[in-house]
Amino acid sequence: MFSMNSFPRRVLLRTIALVVLLWQCCRLTDCQIRSALGHYQLVPASFGNSTAASEGVSDDFGSTVASAALLEEGKDGNYKSSAANDRPTDLGIQTVLEPKHGDDSPPLLCQKPLEDRYSHLRSFASKKPRFFFALDLYQAAGILPQLTASILETVKFLGPEYCYLSIVEGNSTDGTSDLLQALHADAKTLGLTYSLVRSDLDPKNESNDRIEVLAQLRNLALAPLLQDPSDFDSEETTIVFLNDISPCANDILELIHQRRVQGADMACPMDYSDDGLFYDIWIARSMTGDIFFNIPPSGLWKYAKNLLWDDPERKRRLEAHTPFQVFACWNGMAAIGAKAFTQKGIRFRRNREGECYMGEPTLLAKDFWKEGLGKILVVPSVWVAYSHRASVKVKLEKGHVEENLRDGGKEKGMQEMVEWDERPPSLIKCPMPSYSDPQWVPPYEGYVDIMILASERT
Ligand SMILES: *[C@@H]1O[C@H](CO)[C@@H](O)[C@H](O)[C@H]1NC(C)=O
Ligand SMILES: *[C@@H]1O[C@H](CO)[C@@H](O)[C@H](O)[C@H]1NC(C)=O
Ligand SMILES: *[C@@H]1O[C@H](CO)[C@@H](O)[C@H](O)[C@H]1NC(C)=O
């Protein structure tokens, strides 16, 4: 996967999970249609007889992996799915459907966008597009239905004419690329501009540096914005970068909302591994400069549940689902002010000479701080995960965003607005050569001009 923070064991586990899931999916022939009040949910309609199937799409396992069908918006504003041959005439949003999962997890129920909270995201002075959804995907068929449905739900809410969807796909063999092709029809129906590019860049090719390739892929997903920035709202455009996660629309909207109301340069959720722990330790750094949990010299993750152990004030905010500042984050998704790219010329990159080896989102955060864009935020009312099973589990354990907003910090007398630190931590943990034997490096390590300034002072 292109996920920035994979470790071999996790990659292996996720691959096995995907294989099992696809195998289960491929055995399915039945169809189930369920609907729940106040939620939208996608289930297979005519599995094995889908648009994709009729176009002869097959995966590694010799059968179709998912089907496309139509969603119909009910009178109450909820969703119900309908079979592909039974097209509703009022609102025909064709989307990729969720294959039945090869596990006993309940369905992931997502609520419709919170109109009152997010309607301000539709009122801007400029009439140009201002929400740029960017994704790099590889072998993502298992989560694509939920991911694309939630993106389309978000786009519908924000106004398709104000949105742009850019996807870079890496020559997957599991049907991902066919599902993404099928999305052209949905985008057209909605009136959403959609760019799908296939890339040969392979982060697993050992002749190339992995972070370099990941950075190139991320920049490639931004290419339509970077090539023609004047086509977009120059002041307000938000890049919404999503990994291969399985979110709800309100998760995406809450990040965009928080970035706007807090005036943040970047906003991320919290993410959750299949083992039920905070996942993105490779990228995320708190304002103490450390990883979100303590990894002792033994390398054991025995403190993994004690998040932000060294920053009690922000730990309190995390537990109350109230946003807090960090040095760096990604955590599966990020809402980022496009001005950093279009006006300051920042790009995803690998480490420079003299700079500790880190993931491209941590380096992006360094470049943000260097440009005075250190308003980087984690929004802990939003928890996302990388599989259906883990997504269902994380919403049960950590709550849906709507529940967290209701039960959050306000009643604990905590104010939602963040008080920003203008200075980065004095040292940042760089897990090189390993998490058990890391280095602590200055936040501006590797910037030539800063080093010159420092040497002039002495
Ligand atoms: C499959 O599609 C064909 C033609 O589109 C249709 O006649 C048939 O009823 C479908 N079968 C199922 C099981 O949905
Ligand atoms: C995709 O991968 C296949 C083998 O897995 C290879 O033969 C083909 O050339 C690749 N195509 C692209 C466009 O990368
Ligand atoms: C790996 O990358 C090298 C250098 O970019 C390239 O020549 C080679 O064809 C790549 N290998 C594969 C299997 O794609």
pLDDT tens across 426-455, in order?
999 999 999 999 999 999 998 876 555 555
pLDDT at 162 over 60: yes
**Which listed ligand is nearest to 86 at the C-alpha?**
1
CA of 210 relative to ligand 3 center, distance in Å: 12
What's the CA gap between 284 and 88, in Å, rounded? 44
- Output the residue whose Cα is nearest ligand 3's atom 13: 205
Closest ligand to C-alpha of residue 216 is 3
Ligand 2, atom 10: closest residue by C-alpha? 171
Q: Tell whether the model's pLDDT for residue 39 goes beyond 60.
A: no
Question: Among 23-32, 182-191, 342-351, where is mean pLDDT lowest?
Answer: 23-32
The chain-wide mean pLDDT, for the chain, equals 81
Mean pLDDT calculated for residue range 41-54: 31
pLDDT score, position 423: 96
For residue 69, the CA-to-ligand 3 centroid distance in Å is 38
Residue 272: CB atoms within 10 A of its CB come to: 26
For residue 49, the CA-to-ligand 1 centroid distance in Å is 6
Nearest ligand for residue 138 CA = 2
Question: 0.85 cut: is pTM over it?
Answer: no
CA distance 327 to 424: 7
Tell me the average pLDDT across 265-287: 96
Cα three-residue angle 12-13-15, rounded to 5 degrees: 65
> Do residues 163 and 133 make contact, with C-beta atoms less than 8 angstroms apart?
yes
CA separation for the pair 440, 429 (Å, rounded):
5
Please name which ligand lies nearest the alpha carbon of 176. 2
Which amino acid is residue 407, in one-letter code?
D
Is residue 69 over pLDDT 90? no
Whether the CB of 122 sits within 6 Å of ligand 2: no
How long a stretch of residues is the chain?
458
Ligand 3 centroid – CA 300 distance (Å): 36
- Helix pair 176-190, 144-158: axis angle to 10 deg: 20
Domains and CATH numbers, the chain: 8-449 (3.90.550.10)
Residue of higher predicted confidence among 102 and 194: 194
**How far is ligand 2, taken at its centre, from the CA of residue 151, in Å?**
28
Nearest-CA residue for ligand 3 atom 14 is 205
Centre of ligand 1 from the C-alpha of residue 99, in Å: 18
- Ligand 2, from 139, 171, 174: best to mutate by most atoms within 8 Å of Cβ? 171
